[in-house]
Amino acid sequence: MAVELLPAGAAQVDAYANLAAGLAMGLGAVGPGIGLGILTAGACEAIARQPEAQGTIRTTFFIGMGLAEACALYAFVIAVILLFVVQK
Amino acid sequence: MAAEAGGGILGALDELNVHTFIKIPHVWKFDFSITNAVVYVWFSALVVFVLFYVAARIARKKPGKLQTLAEVVLNFGLNLTGIYTSKGKKYYYIYATIFSFIFITNLIGLIPKPAGIWPYTPTANISVTFSMAIVIFALTQYFGIKNHGVRGYTSTFLMPKDVPTGIRRAMNVIFFPVEILGQLFRPLSLSVRLFANTIAGHIIILVMLGMLLQYRFPVGGVTGLFVIAMTAFEIFVAFIQAYIFSLLSVVYLEGAMADSH
């Protein structure tokens, strides 16, 4: 099967870039969403087991949330690059 | 936040553009012109400096409100340190400065300003956040080499000496590049995390404002409430991102200073 590469200024590049941006952000938000749900469940259960450790658990929860959120934002950056830099 | 340039939604996004004030010719691909991003970075640094300087000047035995605030921030920086080693406790001011600079920059960027003063949030620019991350990266390498020497610091990238020699050399071939890539990925992830969080919130707020100004009522009523809620969430995100940036800086810097692997 012969695969042809599109020339750089072709009109189909815009169409594929739009499609790729949608796929990137859509599929890229599945993992962090599930991860944040598991993180919040663990935090809720830990607070329920030991309410006096609330402060430490809340701090750890925020740290985990920031790191998991970053993975979704890498996909966002790729989507923005595809929409505004690849398309002319 | 920015008056529309008569273009509806896309006109409201004009706040994310950089306007050059004084053009300085390029010095080998680096552009040193004075733009509104540069002016706002200077302004945030000035605000942080004046805040802490005045708090130090009027210091007395029974602290007033400003001195209590400065002491809270410095204590916050001090409590972050000492995670891996106690040698890092004397650099607590680095983390307090990074935290207050990022937090105050994002707060200033959230205030609605007229279009006449070219409003801009510096942390919504990948150059600004990447510069901060590169500084942390350079400091990490400097502390690692200063505390362990060059040979000692490279040996933290290899497997520990307990593993027998034959297996160790074979696994080092895989382990060493993976560790180096992990180190090189850190400034990238630090900068992209802060940049993407800030600019995602700003894009949402600005698009909603553009919609509000274009389709007045009834769409405008609902989007106005959403803009208010989103701005409150952005303040929260600004605090969290500043905290995570400084916390990860502590982890990286102290990880380079730590004795055992």
CATH code: domain of residue A23 = 1.20.20.10
pLDDT at B5 over 60: no
What is the number of domains present in chain A? 1
B192, A63: Cβ pair inside 8 Å? no
Q: Which residues contact B259 (CB under 8 A, 6 or more apart)?
A: B85
A67, B200: Cβ pair inside 8 Å? no
Handedness of CA A70, A72, A78, A84 (dihedral sign): negative
- Is residue A63 in some structural domain? yes
Q: Which residue in chain A has the smallest CA separation from B126?
A: A77
pLDDT digits (tens, 9 = 90+) for B183-223: 999 999 999 999 999 999 998 898 888 888 887 777 778 88
Q: Which residues contact A39 (CB under 8 A, 6 or more apart)?
A: A61, A64, A65, A68
Interatomic CA distance for residues A39 and A32, integer angstroms: 10
Sheet strands (E) in chain A: none
- Is residue B2 in some structural domain? no
Mean pLDDT estimate for chain B: 86
Instruction: Domain of residue B110: give its range.
Output: 9-257
pLDDT digits (tens, 9 = 90+) for A2-41: 677 767 667 788 888 999 999 999 999 999 999 999 999 9
Mutate to test the interface with B, among A69, A74, A85 (most CBs of B within 10 A): A69
Collapsing DSSP to helix, strand or coil, B34 comes out as strand
- Is residue A28 in some structural domain? yes
- Is residue B3 in some structural domain? no
- Is residue A5 in some structural domain? no
pLDDT at B141 over 80: yes
Residue B201 amino acid letter: G
A66, B243: Cβ pair inside 8 Å? yes
Q: Find, among A69, A40, A77, the residue nearest to B240 by Cα.
A: A69
What is the number of domains present in chain B? 1
Instruction: Domain of residue A65: give its range.
Output: 13-86
- Is residue B1 in some structural domain? no
- Is residue A72 in some structural domain? yes
Mean pLDDT estimate for chain A: 88
CB atoms within 10 A of CB B31: 12
- Is residue A3 in some structural domain? no
- Is residue A7 in some structural domain? no
